[in-house]
Homo-oligomer: A and B are copies of this chain.
Amino acid sequence: MPPMKRLALALPLMLAAPAAAQEAEPPTPASIVAASRADEWVAIAPEDLLVMDLAPDAAGHSRRVVIQLMPAPFSQPWVENIRTLARARWWDGTQVYRVVDNWVAQWGAGEDGGEAGFVEHPLPEGVVSPVADYTSPMDDPIYPPLKGDLILDAPELSRLEADLHDDVYAQGTYFHDGWPLATDLGRVWPVHCYASVGVARDLAPDTGTGAELYAVIGHAPRQLDRNIAVVGRVIAGIEHLSTLPRGTAEAGVYATRAEDVPIVSVRLGSEMAPASSSEAVGGREGPPRFEYLGTNSESFARYVQVRANRSDAFYTVPAGGVDVCNVQVPIRPVTP
């Protein structure tokens, strides 16, 4: 909801138009999502979910962050490392150790110990830094043509093409299999948006394993595209990272280890026991389940179009465009 005044925000029913008028109301992104068909949504596989539980906050509230891992063909060597690290319980007992405003929250642990007081923490066997390959060829049969999922026959959606091609950082941007991508010079790559998760590395490009990860908590840092592996995105609980205190030491690292935020556990969704209401197992809630609005669906195309051209009551001047990171693919929990 736009920045409306307090009374209007708190009393939304006051603003609702009579039923007859509502039918003629221009669509909003929310109304398009609400009107989408069930078969336009795509379930996220349990092995593509990474569930990170931070220690409860000072008030004792639980803090669960759910990450959707990047599907093939992008960043797969790192994604496989991440699955191996989760299965090895490698992150359990590590920390969120760096938070920089309008930039990133970063977690994991150094593979090396010593002077800075970090605990030695050897990587599981087989987890090595992959060759730095942050883009893929556009002509791979896996990839869609340039405009990908957004090629539609509906004439009224033709504005989309222009909307998504006016990108500062690439020849064009589009969505495929639920993810925002950019393309240029015959290559295609996943982009850094708010809540994107990437692999921290050292100066040399081949130095990131996935053991240290970051989530974007500010304006899209698109300059990192093609320079670092995007391995997923936070789809629930980003606020447990974005509200953390900002670090005050060099580069926004927490100045003392007491400030670090403990990570209790990181599990793949596929590792978590299924839900059960049996008393014998304590009424387990099971792994979280999510679905995204298919980016080749008509509802998604309309959603992007409305994002680019708001015509509901609050907006008097439609933008006439939208940048790829201001679209935000709709993702929602699946309730059993």
Contact = CB atoms under 8 A, between A and B. Distances in A.
Given A6-B110, A207-B5, A219-B194, A167 B169 contact: no
Contacts of A53: none
Nearest to A104: B3
A208 B7 CA distance: 13
Interface string A5-26: 1111111100100000000000
Interface residues of A, number: 87
A313 B203 contact: yes
A133 to B, nearest CB: 11
A98 B214 CA distance: 27
B319 A223 contact: yes
A2 B320 CA distance: 32
A132 B108 CA distance: 49
Interface string A102-144: 1010101111101110100000000000001010000000000
21 contacts: A3-B199, A4-B251, A5-B111, A6-B110, A6-B200, A7-B118, A9-B98, A9-B250, A9-B251, A11-B115, A11-B116, A15-B203, A58-B58, A102-B238, A102-B242, A166-B167, A168-B321, A169-B319, A227-B315, A242-B242, A243-B244
